[in-house]
Structure 1
Amino acid sequence: MTDTNTDRTASVIEVRNPATGAVSGTVPDTSPDDVAAAVRELRLYQPEWEAIGPEGRKEWLLKLQDWLIDNTEQLADVLQSETAKPRVDALIDPAFAVDLIGYYARRAAKFLADDHPSPHSPLARVKSLTVAYRPHQVVGVITPWNFPLAMPAIDVFPALAAGAAVILKPSEVTPLSAVELARGWAEIGAPPVFKVVTGAGATGGAVVGNADYIQFTGSTATGRKIAAACVERMVPYSLELGGKDPAIVLADADLDRAAHGIAFGGMFNAGQVCISVERVYVEAPVYDVFVEKLTAAVSALRQGADGRASAHEVGALANENQARIVQRHVDEAVAAGARVTTGGKRTGVGTFFEPTVLVDVDHSMSCVAEETFGPTLPVMKVADEAEAIRLANDSIYGLSASVWTGDKQRGERVARQLNAGAVNINDVFANLFNFAMPMGGWGQSGVGARWGGANGLRKYCRAQAITKPKLPTMAKEPLWFPYDMNKIIFSLGAMRAAGARGLRRIDLPALLRLKDGK
Structure 2
Amino acid sequence: MTQNQALRADGPPAGTGIAVDNPATGAVVGEVPDTSAEEVAQAVERARRAQRGWAELDTRARAAFFARGRRWLLAHREEIADLIVEENGKAREDAVVEIVYCASAFAYWAKQARGLLARTRIRSLSPFVLGRSMYTRRVPRGVVGVIGPWNNPLLNSFGDAVPALAAGNAVVLKPSEQTPLTALLMERMARECGWPKDVFQVVTGAGATGRAVVDTVDFVMFTGSTRTGRLVAARAGERLVPCSLELGGKDALVVLADANLERAVSVTIQGALSNGGQMCTSVERVYVEEPVYDAYLTLLRERFRQVTSGRPAGLGSVDVGAVTFPPQLAVIQDHVDDAVRKGARVLAGGHTPEGPGRFFEPTLLVDVDHGMKCMREETFGPTLPVMKVADAEEALRLVNDSTYGLQASIIGSDMKRARRLAERFEAGCVTINDAQTNYMALGLPMGGWKESGLGVRHGAEGFRKYTRLQAISTNRFPMRRDMHMIPYEPSAYRFVLRLVDAMYGTGLRRRAK
Find the partner of 1:466 among 443, 467, 472.
472
Measure, in 2, the Cα distance between the counterparts of 1:184 and 1:36.
23
Amino acid at match of 1:392: V
SS of residue paired to 2:96: helix
Once the two structures are superposed, what CA deviation does each residue of 1:153-202 show, in whole Å capped at 9, x if it has no partner?
Answer: 33100000000111110100000000101110111110121111000111
SS state of the match for residue 417, structure 1? coil
CA positional deviation for 1:483? 2.0
Percent identity reads 47
Residue 309 of structure 1 and its aligned partner are, at CA, apart by 4.4
Gaps of 5+ in 1: 506-518
Q: 1:239 aligns with which of 231, 242, 245?
A: 245
- Check conservation: 1:250, 1:283, Cα contact below 8 A: yes
Specify the code of the residue in structure 2 equivalent to 1:112: L
Greater Cα shift, 169-178 or 475-484: 475-484
Tell me what 2:168 maps to.
163
3-state SS of paired residue (1:26): strand
Instruction: Please state if 1:105 is matched with 2:110.
Output: yes
Give the 3 Å change call, closer, same or farther, for CA 219–485 of structure 1 in structure 2: same
Task: Give the letter for the 1:447 counterpart.
Answer: L
Q: Given residue 417 of structure 2, which amino acid in structure 1 is its aligned partner?
A: R
User: What CA distance in whole angstroms lies between the structure 1 residues aligned with 2:421 and 2:196?
Assistant: 48
Q: For each residue in 1:464-490, what CA deviation from the matched residue of structure 2 results, as whole angstroms up to 9, or x when unmatched?
A: 0001124x2111222222222322332
1:316 alignment partner AA: A
Which of 230, 237, 253 is matched with 1:224 structurally? 230
| Contact 2:150/2:178, CA 8 A, preserved across alignment | yes
Taking the aligned partners of 1:61 and 1:420, their CA distance within structure 2 comes to 33
CA distance in 1, matches of 2:361, 2:427: 28
Q: Is the 8 A contact 1:122 1:498 kept in 2?
A: no
Q: Which amino acid aligns with 1:350?
A: G
Alpha-carbon distance in 1 for matches of 2:18, 2:98: 23
How many angstroms does 1:492 deviate by? 4.2
CA RMSD of aligned residues (A): 1.8
Runs of 4 or more, structure 1, over 3 Å off, are 6-10, 120-125, 499-505
SS of residue matched to 1:151: coil
Are 1:364 and 2:367 an aligned pair? no
Measured after TM superposition, the shift of residue 125 of structure 1 is: 4.2
Mapping of residues 475-494 of structure 1, within 5 Å: 475-494=480-499
Q: Residue 516 of structure 1 corresponds to which residue in structure 2?
A: none
Q: Please name the residue that 2:345 is paired with.
A: 339
Secondary structure in 2 matching 1:116: strand
Deviations 1:419-470 (A, max 9, x none): 0111110110121111111000000000111111x32321100110001124
How does the TM-score come out when normalised to structure 2?
Answer: 0.95
Corresponding position of 2:64: 59
Secondary structure (helix, strand or coil) at the match of 2:300 reads helix
From 448, 465, 478, the counterpart of 1:441: 448
Partner residue of 2:99 out of 74, 94, 100? 94
SS in 1 for 2:133: strand
Q: 1:416 is aligned with what amino acid?
A: E
d(CA) in 2 for partners of 1:222 and 1:68?
Answer: 31
The aligned residue for residue 119 of structure 1 is 124
Preserved CA contact (<8 Å) 1:118 1:129: yes
**CA shift for structure 1 position 369:** 0.6
Q: For residues 285 and 501 of structure 1, do their structure 2 counterparts lie closer, same or farther at Cα, with a shift above 3 Å needed?
A: farther
The equivalent position to 1:376 in structure 2, one of 371, 383, 398, is 383
SS in 2 for 1:314: coil
| 1:129 to partner: Cα distance | 1.3
Q: Say which of 317, 320, 323 aligns to 1:314.
A: 320
Q: Is residue 39–residue 210 contact of structure 1 (8 Å, CA) maintained in 2?
A: yes
TM-score by length of 1: 0.94
Q: 1: distance between equivalents of 2:272 and 2:265?
A: 10
Note closer, same or farther for the CA distance 1:496–1:191 as it changes in structure 2 (3 Å cut).
farther
Q: Is the aligned partner of 1:178 residue 2:179? A: no
The structure-2 alpha-carbon separation of the partners of 1:309 and 1:429, relative to structure 1 and needing over 3 Å to count, comes to closer
Corresponding residue of 1:418: 425
Aligned match for 1:38, one of 34, 43, 54: 43
CA distance in 2, matches of 1:136, 1:183: 25
Which moves more between the two structures, 306-315 or 323-332? 306-315
**Offset, 1:503:** 8.2
Determine if contact 1:123/1:495 at 8 Å carries over to the other structure: no
Q: Are 1:7 and 1:14, in contact at CA under 8 Å, matched by a contact in 2? A: no
Q: Does 1:304 align with 2:310?
A: yes
Q: 1:16 aligns with which of 5, 8, 21?
A: 21
SS of 1:307's equivalent? coil
Letter of the aligned partner of 1:385 in structure 2?
A
User: What is the distance in 1 between the residues matched to 2:164 and 2:30?
Assistant: 28
Task: Compute the displacement of 1:350 (Å).
Answer: 1.7
CA contact (8 A) 1:43 1:138 kept: yes
Structure 2 residue runs of 5 or longer lacking an equivalent are none
State the AA in 1 paired with 2:72: W
